[in-house]
C-alpha cells in the first residue's frame, strides 16, 4: 500500500464505509389496524389485566427484521403503546411525554449529545419506555409505584439534516441520558397511525 494512488483509493473506500455505517440501523415500520381476534391471546390477556378502562386499538407492525403487535390507547390524557413480539410476548410500554418532563439532569445529557452529534435539530416526539419482567411492569402501572425494578429509557424522535438531507432519527437513551442507539426513520406518506 505504499503506492499513493492505491492508498488514496483505500482511504476513499474506508471513508464511504464509515459514513454509511453511521446509520447502519434503519427504522421502517408499517403499522395497520387489525381486529382483536388477529392478536395472540397472551397479548390480549396482558392488556386486559392493565385495567385501562379505555378503548384499545390493535395494530400489526411489520419492520425490516420483525413483526410485532401493538395495543394503543389514550389513558390519563396520554398516548400509551404496549408492544408485543410476534408470538405475543410482552416487550415494552411507551408513554408519550413532553421533553420538559424528562428529569433535568437526564435531559441535559440528552440535549448535549444531540447538539454534539447533530448540531441543529428539533424534537418531534418524546416517550418514556418501560420494559423488564412483565409482572413487575404490570405491578408498577397498577400501583404507580417506583420503577426501580423495571428498566426505563427515553425514546426521542428528532428532525435534523444528515449530509445535507432532511432526516428523522429515532434515538434511545438510558434512564441517565446515555445514548443507546440511533435509527434513521424511513417515512411513507401513507403511514398514518390513529390512537
Closest CA to 23 of 128, 167, 127, 176: 167
> Quick one: pLDDT band at residue 121, thresholds 50, 70, 90?
very high
C-alpha cell, 163? 449530509
Give the C-alpha separation, 115 to 74, whole Å: 32
Rounded Cα–Cα distance for residues 135 and 86 (Å): 19
Q: How many CB atoms lie within 10 A of CB 32?
A: 10
pLDDT in tens, 53-102: 899 999 998 877 789 999 999 998 999 999 999 999 999 999 999 999 99
Domains by residue range for the chain, with CATH: 24-185 (3.10.450.360)
Q: Give the integer Cα–Cα distance in Å for 76 and 79.
A: 8
193 Cβ partners below 8 Å, 6+ apart? 31, 59, 72
| DSSP assignment of 102-164 | S-HHHHHHHHHHHHHHHSSEEEEEEEEEEES-HHHHHHHHHHT---TTSEEEEEEEEEEEETT
Q: Which band of pLDDT confidence, cut at 50, 70 and 90, is reported for residue 142?
A: confident
Q: Determine which of 9-23, 103-117, 126-140, 175-189 has the lowest per-residue pLDDT on average.
A: 9-23
Amino acid at each position: 500500500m505504499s503506492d499513493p494512488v492505491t492508498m488514496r483509493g483505500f482511504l476513499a473506500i474506508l471513508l464511504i464505509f464509515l459514513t454509511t455505517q453511521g446509520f447502519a440501523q434503519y427504522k421502517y415500520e408499517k403499522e395497520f389496524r387489525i381486529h382483536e381476534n388477529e392478536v395472540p391471546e397472551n397479548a390480549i390477556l396482558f392488556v386486559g389485566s392493565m385495567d385501562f378502562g379505555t378503548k384499545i386499538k390493535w395494530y400489526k407492525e411489520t419492520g425490516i427484521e420483525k413483526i410485532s403487535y401493538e395495543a394503543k390507547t389514550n389513558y390519563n390524557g396520554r398516548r400509551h403503546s404496549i408492544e408485543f413480539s410476534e408470538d405475543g410476548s410482552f416487550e415494552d410500554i411507551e408513554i408519550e411525554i413532553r421533553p420538559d418532563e424528562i428529569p433535568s439532569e437526564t435531559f441535559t445529557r440528552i440535549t448535549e449529545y444531540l447538539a454534539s452529534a447533530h448540531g441543529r435539530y428539533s424534537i418531534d416526539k418524546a416517550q418514556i419506555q418501560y420494559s423488564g419482567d412483565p409482572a413487575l411492569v404490570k405491578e408498577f402501572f397498577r400501583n404507580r409505584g417506583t420503577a426501580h425494578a423495571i428498566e426505563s429509557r427515553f425514546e426521542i424522535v428528532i428532525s435534523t439534516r444528515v449530509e445535507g438531507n432532511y432526516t428523522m432519527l429515532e434515538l434511545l437513551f438510558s434512564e441517565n441520558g446515555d445514548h443507546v442507539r440511533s435509527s434513521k426513520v424511513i417515512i411513507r406518506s401513507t403511514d398514518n397511525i390513529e390512537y
